[in-house]
Each structure stands twice: as structure tokens, then as C-alpha cells.
Amino acid sequence: MSDPAGASAERELDLTRRKLAEAHKMASLGRLAAGIVHEINTPIGSILSNNETIRRSLNSLRKLLGTAVEQGLPPTPRTLAVLDTLASLTDIDKIACERILGIIRGLKTFARVNESDLQRVNIHEILLNTIKLTNCVFRRRITVVTEFDENLPDVECYPGLLNQVFLNLVVNASQAIEAEGTITIRTRSDGERAHVSVSDTGSGIPEAVRPRIFAAGFTTKPIGEGTGLGLTITREIVEDTHGGKITFETETGVGTTFHLWIPLRQPRSQERP
């Protein structure tokens, strides 16, 4: 690029695109927030309840054991039963804490903004994070199936951006499924590229809409549910930023599959400033 004014305009455009992508990611997370709150409230409720129960039971146990010691008697069956119940509550607490930790880790991965450097990452970890977060919203109505190619090499990419691509595709797939259905995520090695596909058993994309789905500002979703930028940003991240390819196949009433091919390695010259 020899024209300095043109180069500066290009940089500005790139910056605007990245800001827009960031804003869109935060908006997507915002829409997941209600589901995440629900998912965290359940384990928190259990932990608080168990803590209260354990605290009160420890006091009564102290009395029971004190009496037993004074009288030189072994602990009563009631005392042993209380101890067993308390042990089961601490097991529940551990599971509940792990559940919360899993959600927080997923959120942290999504919220990180400083991933502007190319990194070699295991794409399955990004996909599993996406599933964990989106599961908060639709776990009860949608089953997510993964068919991962365990021999898929690490992919050189901008992980934060790919996170967003997968989030967009999985959220779209979930919105295409009206009641109950399945989302299948597959990965496989395809020469020098990683092939990822996201399929849903949803309503399919109507024929009239198909040519416009990647166009900026185009949406069929109600106000507040879609910005009309999700697939535009997804295409830009896959094709412009990573030099990959995105296509889709769809059948009305049967479902839609989005196919992504991401190069395993990025040319050095493409590194971001």
C-alpha cells in the first residue's frame, strides 16, 4: 500500500471493524446473561443452604458428642447419620463450586480482549467453552453433540475472534430450533486447514433470505434479539482475518449446516499491528 492516506483509511476501517466485532461480542454475551445468572443461582443456592445446615448441625453434633463423652458411651446411630448427611453435603458443595468455576472460566475466555496476537490453540477447547456457556441458555431443550477429530493439529489464529465466530454460529443454531432439537459440532483435518461444521435440526433458512445472510444489517430476528451483524462479522473473521472460507447448506424444515475452513498456519505478513 503506497498511498499513505489510503493506508491510514484502511487502518481506521480495520480498527472500526474490530471495535464493532468487540461490541457485538459483548452484546451476544449480554443476551446470554440471564441464562448464566440462572445457571449460577442453582449451585449458589445449594452452597448457601448447605453451609447453613452444616453450621447448625455442627452445634448439635458438639452437644451430642459431649453428652456421649461425659457418659462414656459410643456415638449414637443418630449422630452417625447426621455425620453421613453432612459428608454428602460437602460433596454437593464441591460439585456446585466446580460448576460455578466452569462458568466463570468460560466467561473469562470470552471476555478477554487482549488477544490481538496470533496464537496456536486447540480449537476443541474454544468449542467446548462455547458449548459450556451456551448450554446455560438452552441445556433443557437442545442437545449438543460433538464429533471431534482428535488428531486435529493446533490452529494458528486469534482465539478471541474464533470464540466469537463459534458463539455466533451456536446461538444462531439454537435460535433456528423452535422447541427441542440437536446441534452437532464436527471437526476434521482437511489438508492444511481445519474444517469445523455446526449443524442444527432447526427450521432452515428460507430460500429468499439465503443470498443476503452475510450482508451487514440484514436480520430476520426481532428487535433486541439480533443486530444483523453476527454473520457479517463471522464471515469477516473467518475469511478476511484468517484467510479461511465459510459456506452453508440448508433445507427448509430439516436444518442448516455452516462449514468453516481455517488455515492451520497464518502467513507472517498477516500479523496484526
Partner 1 sequence: MQPNGQSTPEILIVDDEEMVVTSIRAFLTLETEFNVHGYMDPEQAVQFMETHPVDVVVSDYLMPKLNGIQFLGKARSLQPEAARVLLTGHADKQSAIQAINEVGLFQYLEKPWDNSQLLLVIQSAIERATLFRTLKEKISELDSAHSSLKDVQSRLLRAFL
CB neighbours (10 Å) of residue 139? 15
Q: Taking CB under 8 A as the rule, does residue 90 contact partner 1?
A: no
Minimum CB distance to partner 1 smaller for 16 or for 49: 49
Distance CA 107, CA 17 (A): 23
Q: Supply the minimum distance, in Å, between the C-beta of residue 170 and partner 1.
A: 19
Residue of the chain from 88, 220, 252, 270 that contacts partner 1 (CB under 8 A) = 88
CB 256 within 8 A of CB 250: yes
Closest CA to 196 of 263, 139, 105: 263
Q: Taking CB under 8 A as the rule, does residue 42 contact partner 1?
A: yes
Residue of the chain from 43, 181, 230, 263 that contacts partner 1 (CB under 8 A) = 43
Q: Taking CB under 8 A as the rule, does residue 142 contact partner 1?
A: no
Residue of the chain from 49, 146, 189, 270 that contacts partner 1 (CB under 8 A) = 49
Task: Write down how long the chain is.
Answer: 273
Q: Taking CB under 8 A as the rule, does residue 56 contact partner 1?
A: yes
Q: Taking CB under 8 A as the rule, does residue 143 contact partner 1?
A: no
Query: Buried (b) or exposed (e) across 2-21, using 16+ Cβ within 10 A?
Result: eeeeeeeeeeeeeeebbebb
CB 120 within 8 A of CB 154: yes
Query: Binding marks (x or -) toward partner 1, 92..121, rule CB under 8 A?
Result: x--xx-------------------------
Residue 201: phi and psi, rounded to 5, are: -100, 40
Q: Supply the minimum distance, in Å, between the C-beta of residue 64 and partner 1.
A: 12
Distance CA 177, CA 132 (A): 18
Q: Taking CB under 8 A as the criterion, which residues in 147-186 touch partner 1? A: none
Positions that interact with partner 1 (CB under 8 A): 34, 37-39, 41-46, 48-50, 52-53, 56-57, 82, 85, 88-89, 92, 95-96, 140-141
